[in-house]
Amino acid sequence: AAEAVALAAMGQLYAVDSLLDAMVFLPSQPGFGDANIQLVNVALELRAHGHMEAAARAFARSMEGYRALPPDQ
């Protein structure tokens, strides 16, 4: 997650997309949360640096992940 945030800050969007694809399969990490939270953090970083379309894609991936969770989570 930290690497994806750093790449987002540097505008390396292709590398960010590649990491986002892999992040959805990662287990929760202490201090970072689950993959959906990490996707939101990357999306916020992308948005902060003016990469609105990439941010929207990251937010959408996060929402897909939340929708896939069982109702009790």
Q: How many helices (H) and strands (E) does the chain have?
A: 4, 0
Integer Cα distance of 51 and 45 in angstroms: 9
DSSP character at residue 69: S
Q: Which residues contact 4 (CB under 8 A, 6 or more apart)?
A: 16, 19, 20, 23, 38, 42
Q: What is the pLDDT of residue 43?
A: 93
- Of all residues in the chain, the percent with pLDDT exceeding 70 is 90
Percent of the chain with pLDDT over 90: 27
Q: Tens digits of per-residue pLDDT, 39-68?
A: 898 999 999 999 999 999 999 999 988 888
Confidence check: pLDDT of 32 > 80: no
Q: Where are the alpha helices (DSSP H) in 1-73?
A: 2-9, 13-23, 35-48, 52-68
pLDDT given at position 37 = 86
Cβ distance 46 to 54 under 8 Å?
A: yes
